[in-house]
Amino acid sequence: MNFVEELTWRGMIHDIMPGTEELMEKEMISAYVGIDPTADSLHIGHLVGVMMLKHLQLSGHRPLALVGGATGMIGDPSGKSAERNLLDEETLRHNQNALKAQLAKFLDFESEIPNKAEIVNNYDWMSNFSFLDFIRDIGKHITVNYMMSKESVKKRIGADSKTGMSFTEFSYQLVQGYDFLHLYNEKNCKVQMGGADQWGNITTGTELIRRKVQGEAFAITCPLITKADGGKFGKTESGNIWLDPERTTPYAFYQFWLNVSDEDAKKYIKIFTLLSKDEIDNIIAEHFKEPGFRLLQKKLAEEITVMVHSRDEYEMAVKASKILFGKATSDELSKLNEATFLAVFDGVPVFEVNKSEVEAGIHIMELLADKTTIFPSKGELKRTIKGNGLSINKEKFTDENGIVDSKYIINKKYILAQKGKKNYFLITLV
């Protein structure tokens, strides 16, 4: 199965330029995906592009990851309704280094193979490119009419646009187009890949290559990842799902995939795992025999968590999930040794309270809404208790005038508070 066939059955191709597949059959090619270094970690929204590169390398071609140091300073107008904030160079450099380290988990940058992956940074060739040279050598080849016809531009200068569009953002597609030209010349890179929203920017690049050096370049875009319920992929109430364990704990990461709907899981498992078509068909068939078991989500979460973090982190996340969502009782909780206990609750907000105050017996209101900020007000705590939504150490706490004392202490120094089903808080006694 070649690269294009592989991506096709996985549902990862939205649009492809005629001739791309033929070219890739004929020779080993280089292709690139651009990544904006707006933060010092990738999030799962970047994962599709990264997976495209992964498949590219697996099929014997050469992946290039372009870190957009220069373009990141401008901001891509595609899909944006307002002008972007600009990043300074120091932040960019820091972000770039962090991204490089994360990409190394997916792509082989080290081995002495002909299709070894490479990271390039457009800041390196853009920063010394003078404005005058740029508009003379590059701008000359593309008409404003052509640039204006792009959807991303039309949207911003149309009558219904409120904020308008700066010249800086307007130039974005030309700068990105130049990246492609540069890589075409320097790295013999003939294909650019990206999300469906990048089609306009990518074609500016192929157009530029055609006009400037009479070369032929190609494009592949993947569909934007959606959710069946219309929500935004990769976002939860608490924000983005990051690959960096400091930003999103492996447990939260695992939980994200585990909570995906059936419809979405069917799509995602093809895109985000390397499981073969047969394996996936099997899993889907098994899943729908007993959907409540959620085999599909479990497999999806396992594959991605292991790939992004590690087998160990994955196993810890499963263990934590069993305790947090299973029928664990306060009895079982207290049986956990301290190391396991802490590992399970890694990432759960922790509050410190004076030990002697609890041993003497403390009013529930004072403990949860005064000594700690688990509840922002006593009124809210009261409501939660009335609604049967508060548990201490996995057991319902229903008395709004209750007292918490030494018999609630686990492992000599912990109390586990739970708001609803999913929100845990750890109180450490000091």
Partner RNA sequence: GGGAAGGUACCGAAGCGGUCAAACGGGGCAGACUGUAAAUCUGUUGGCUCAGCCUUCGUAGGUUCGAAUCCUGCCCUUCCCA
Can you tell me the distance from the alpha carbon of 72 to that of 99, in angstroms, rounded to the nearest whole number? 13
Q: Among 154, 232, 311, 422, which one carries the catalytic annotation? A: 232
61 a catalytic residue: no
User: Minimum distance between the CB of residue 231 and RNA, rounded to whole angstroms?
Assistant: 9
236 a catalytic residue: yes
141 a catalytic residue: no
Beta strand residue intervals within 91-211, DSSP E: 118-121, 189-195
**Stretch touching RNA by CB under 7 A, among 12-20, 93-101, 258-266, 348-356:** 258-266
Task: Rule CB under 7 A: say whether 232 interacts with RNA.
Answer: no
Beta strand residue intervals within 230-316, DSSP E: 235-236, 239-240
Sheet holding 350-353, edge to edge: 350-353, 423-429, 414-419, 390-392, 395-396
71 a catalytic residue: no
User: b/e map of 43-54 (b: 16 or more CB within 10 Å)?
Assistant: bbbbbbbbbbbb
Can you tell me the distance from the alpha carbon of 214 to that of 201, in angstroms, rounded to the nearest whole number? 19
405 has which bridge partners? none
Q: Among 10, 43, 270, 371, which one carries the catalytic annotation? A: 43
Task: Rule CB under 7 A: say whether 258 interacts with RNA.
Answer: yes
197 a catalytic residue: yes
399 a catalytic residue: no
Can you tell me the distance from the alpha carbon of 428 to that of 424, in angstroms, rounded to the nearest whole number? 13
Task: Rule CB under 7 A: say whether 422 interacts with RNA.
Answer: yes
Closer to RNA by Cβ: residue 92 or 320: 320
46 a catalytic residue: yes
Q: What does DSSP say about strands 235-236 and 239-240: parallel, antiparallel, or unpaired?
A: antiparallel
User: Minimum distance between the CB of residue 197 and RNA, rounded to whole angstroms?
Assistant: 25
289 a catalytic residue: no
Task: Rule CB under 7 A: say whether 315 interacts with RNA.
Answer: no
CB 193 within 8 A of CB 33: yes
226 has which bridge partners? 232
Task: Rule CB under 7 A: say whether 291 interacts with RNA.
Answer: yes
113-132 binders of RNA (CB under 7 A): none
Closer to RNA by Cβ: residue 1 or 228: 228
* DSSP assignment letter at 391: E
Query: How many CA within 13 A on the CB side of residue 125?
Result: 17
Radius of gyration of the chain (CA): 26
φ, ψ for residue 148 (rounded to 5)?
Answer: -70, -25
Contact pick of 38, 166, 282, 321 for RNA (by CB under 7 A): 321
Closer to RNA by Cβ: residue 90 or 229: 229
User: Minimum distance between the CB of residue 408 and RNA, rounded to whole angstroms?
Assistant: 19
User: Minimum distance between the CB of residue 419 and RNA, rounded to whole angstroms?
Assistant: 5
343-402 binders of RNA (CB under 7 A): 369, 376-380, 382-384, 387-389
Task: Rule CB under 7 A: say whether 26 interacts with RNA.
Answer: no
Residues that bind RNA (CB under 7 A): 162, 229, 237, 255, 258-259, 261-262, 291-292, 294, 297, 321, 325, 369, 376-380, 382-384, 387-389, 419-423
Residues that are catalytic: 38, 43, 46, 80, 84, 176, 197, 232, 235-236
